[in-house]
Amino acid sequence: MKNDNAPRVQDIARMANVSTATVSRALSRPDLVSEATRDAVLKAVAEAGYTVNVAARNLRRQRTGSVLALVPNLANPFFSKIIAGINSVLRTRGLTLLVADTEGGPEVHAQMATLAHRSRADGLIVLDGCLPAGILDHPACPPVVQACEWIDGLPGPRVMADNRDGGVLAARHLIDLGHRRIAQLTGPANNPLTIERSRGVREVLAEAGIEGRTDWILEGAFSLSSGQQAAREILAMADRPDAVLCHNDEMACGLMGELQRTGLDVPRDMSVIGFDNIDMAAHVTPGLTTVEQHRTALGVCAAEVLLDLLDGASPPPVTVLPVGLLVRGSTLAR
């Protein structure tokens, strides 16, 4: 063994008096070698503290045994459960999940381009709708599944919640409670989730004969602080809505907290409804009424679609998962 380095197959082969081929087989296909040989190899491995060089194996095998998830913002609790779902499925197949945060500008995208390569991962699950399509439909890029968000013009299967229907459920709930003065706190205007959710809301409002007041549509950033900011804007309005439909729970919580801090009572003075059903939603006071999407299931589904893809099967191009309304205390009949 070269002095400064970790042991290699060669070293193990010498120690066990076999060829490198046999060592390799003893480790990855134990059924192919005799018991005596296997024991000798394993003994040498243990003794030398050998572990395979993954780069060499990946190079030769032309696959990596791992899947990469590209997440727009790891700090967003929304994603964590999806990741957990993905992980649970991949583990059953012996695949390792790695996660990279895609936050940042073009210079980060360049980094992502080197990540999105067959020699890095066997498959990609992309949760970020803002990546340039170019790096993902490159021939060197492994199979891609898009989850939650999606990238226009990028082929390949998608898995997502029924965002439009979520908008419908939320809006209808408020209307059923007698609200007609409904504000919206959306995500970034160009975000596909927000576009879909808005569509559902708009449909229901129109159906109910409620005029869409554009001054009651606020644009947020899916963050607690943008919810807080929105609350301030609403409080400053001469003509206030009496319900706010938020496009995610974080904004709803931020908004609700700020309303309360200013002395308003939620839901008596204002109903608030969120979207996603993150853990926090059940624990704030009052409990946040929200549109539940099963994030773990979404991750599971995305992973299964990816596995299909890797197996050469043809998964459905689009999978839409149902959402449901979860009524807690933050909404009240007018």
Asked if residue 182 lies in contact with residue 241, where contact means CB atoms within 8 angstroms, the answer is yes
What number of other Cβ atoms are within 10 A of residue 181's Cβ? Answer: 15
Contacted by 43, from DNA, a second copy, none: CB < 5 to 8 Å by type: none
DSSP string, 156-214: S-EEEE-HHHHHHHHHHHHHHTT---EEEEES-TT-HHHHHHHHHHHHHHHHTT----G
Among 35, 36, 46, 49, binds a second copy (CB under 8 A): 49
Among 8, 164, 172, 295, binds DNA (CB under 7 A): 8
d(CA 188, CA 200): 17
Among 91, 93, 232, 268, binds a second copy (CB under 8 A): 91
Smallest distance, DNA to C-beta of residue 257, A: 51
d(CA 32, CA 35): 9
Asked if residue 86 lies in contact with residue 302, where contact means CB atoms within 8 angstroms, the answer is yes
Among 27, 42, 84, 208, binds a second copy (CB under 8 A): 84
92 in contact with DNA (CB under 7 A): no
Contacted by 96, from a second copy, DNA, none: CB < 5 to 8 Å by type: a second copy
Residue whose token pair is 């809505």: 241
254 in contact with a second copy (CB under 8 A): yes
Contacted by 32, from DNA, a second copy, none: CB < 5 to 8 Å by type: DNA
140 in contact with a second copy (CB under 8 A): yes
Name which of 19 and 114 has its Cβ closer to a second copy. Answer: 114
120 in contact with a second copy (CB under 8 A): yes
| Residues 99-118 within binding reach of a second copy (CB under 8 A) | 99-101, 103-104, 107-108, 111, 113-115, 117-118
d(CA 90, CA 213): 46
81 in contact with a second copy (CB under 8 A): yes
Nearest residue to 86 via CA among 117, 119, 126: 126
